[in-house]
Amino acid sequence: MRDKINASMKQAMRDKEATRLSTLRLIMAAIKDRDIALRPSGNDEGVDDSEILSILAKMIKQRKDSAEVYQSAGREELACRENNEIKVIEEFLPKQLSADEVNDAVKEAISEIGADSIRDMGKVMGALKAKYSGQMDFGKAGGAVKALLG
């Protein structure tokens, strides 16, 4: 995953795509920050691909929130910039699950764990995050879990 991002960054430099390049640099900086945070625990290897996917998902969520704020404040140019960054980040995420696929995944996780009450929501969400990192919006998945367990 890192190699793919680095290759894209080099290509953006060659193509002189300033917005794409700055977004890719932000991604690499976020990954590097997480690598540095893991060093004291003895992890010199850095983050793995699943951790990179969660970093990317978090970056997308931040940008969506910012774009909404900018749009409500009438700052269309800033909202557009955030949306352009989202498009670049999404290139590195696997295909997102549809609403029906999310519901099916939630039902499957509930049956695998044997969850029968809302108290088991944490276990179900943990299973979903382990299996579908970067493929679904866990905020929406949480609502589906509540609806099925509650």
Q: What is the CATH number of the domain that holds 10?
A: 1.10.1510.10
Q: Are residues 68 and 103 in the same domain?
A: no
Question: Taking the CA atoms of the chain, what radius of gyration do you get in angstroms?
Answer: 18
Q: Where are the alpha helices (DSSP H) in the chain?
A: 2-15, 18-38, 49-72, 76-90, 99-113, 121-132, 138-149
Q: 71 is written with which tokens?
A: 């749009």
Which burial class, exposed, middle or buried, applies to 45 when counting CB atoms under 10 A from its CB (0-12, 13-18, 19+)? exposed
Q: Are residues 75 and 107 in the same domain?
A: no
Range of the structural domain that residue 76 is part of: 2-90
* CATH number of the domain encompassing residue 110: 1.10.10.410
**Residue 50, pLDDT above cutoff 90:** no
Question: What is the average per-residue pLDDT within 36-50?
Answer: 82
Between residues 35 and 50, which one has the greater pLDDT? Answer: 35
Count of domains in the chain? 2
Domain boundary among 54, 73, 90: 90
At 83-141, the pLDDT tens digits run 999 999 999 988 888 888 888 999 999 999 888 888 989 999 999 988 887 788 788 88
Q: Are residues 86 and 117 in the same domain?
A: no
